[in-house]
Amino acid sequence: MDVLAAPVVIGIARQAQRRFDDARAPLLGVMGAFVFAAQMINFPAGLGTSAHLLGGALLAYTLGAPAATVVMSAIIAIQALVFQDGGVLVLGANILNMAVVGVWAGYLPFRFAGATRWRNLAIFSGGALSVLVSAICALAELRVSGVPSKALGVSAVVFLISAPLEGAITLAVIKALEAIQPGFVRQPEPGRRLHASLLAIGLAAIFLAAVGVLFSSAAPDGIEKLGLVSGIAARARVLLATPFSGYETAFLGAPWMRKASAGLAGLALIYGACLAIGRVARKRSV
């Protein structure tokens, strides 16, 4: 999966460079930071599990599918390497499932119906579809890897619950952004400023990372639950510990400080990485 993911993402990144729009360059960092923060907030999904926003469709609507793939790939890589979330051995699979297949599947309904009277339904459907397609890929890969079908059942149910929630959250965020700045997800006119929307997204990301984590469910998500039920989690090994493992800063004492500081550090890392990507794309598109 690593061998397959690398050329696919490189090819999509080149496509994003050809379509790069300077007017939306700051959005790469801000939207990447927002999705990272939102993924930290787990909500109960039943059966002793939790779910969280994936954000692939949201990134596709605001950045375009090619740029969204690049940003989501950066998020997944930083989560695995810095926060030890997802694991290095499945990095290629996660990038393909969420950053490639999930992003582009979520973008399709909006691509074909985003300019019609079915626009809201397209946004909702895209968010839900991005989760369902990513889940099907992940569960199929686990089944091929030898995980019994019965162990996959709980995860499948959790994904079926989280898919419409993803659609609803995606639609709510888009509507909120467009209330601040009408036509936010459409191609901006030359010279058009996005300062109000960028400020709102940035503040929301900081709030989620610093305060929202206090209300995040401690229950495992669908894949984590699968790891516990199947015994995969017991065989996981940490090759090199980081000070932000598990989204907590190890050298701080208070629980809130550990979570909030790790979340804010993650925002800075994601923002910096996406901003660097934007600058490289801008230079090569000139």
Who's near 94: CB < 8 A, 6+ residues apart? 76, 80, 86
- 45: enclosing H helix or E strand: strand 43-46
Q: How many other CB atoms are there within 10 angstroms of residue 138's CB atom?
A: 24
pLDDT for residue 23 = 62
pLDDT for residue 188 = 41
pLDDT for residue 120 = 93
**From CA 10, how far away is CA 95, in angstroms rounded?**
12
Q: How many other CB atoms are there within 10 angstroms of residue 186's CB atom?
A: 11
Q: Name the pTM for this structure.
A: 0.90
**From CA 104, how far away is CA 98, in angstroms rounded?**
9
Contact 59, 87 (CB under 8 A): no
Print the domain residue range for 56.
2-285
Residue 188 is classified by DSSP as P
Using alpha carbons, select from 115, 123, 133 the residue that is nearest to residue 167: 123
pLDDT in tens, the chain (286 residues): 999 999 999 999 888 888 776 666 778 889 999 999 999 888 887 777 888 889 999 999 988 899 999 999 999 999 999 998 877 888 999 999 999 999 999 999 998 888 888 999 999 999 999 999 999 999 999 889 888 877 788 788 888 888 999 999 999 999 988 888 777 776 444 444 567 778 888 899 999 888 888 888 888 787 787 777 777 777 877 777 888 888 888 888 788 888 889 999 999 999 999 888 877 766 665 5
**From CA 35, how far away is CA 12, in angstroms rounded?**
20
How many domains, the chain? 1
Q: How many other CB atoms are there within 10 angstroms of residue 222's CB atom?
A: 26
CATH code (residue 193): 1.10.1760.20
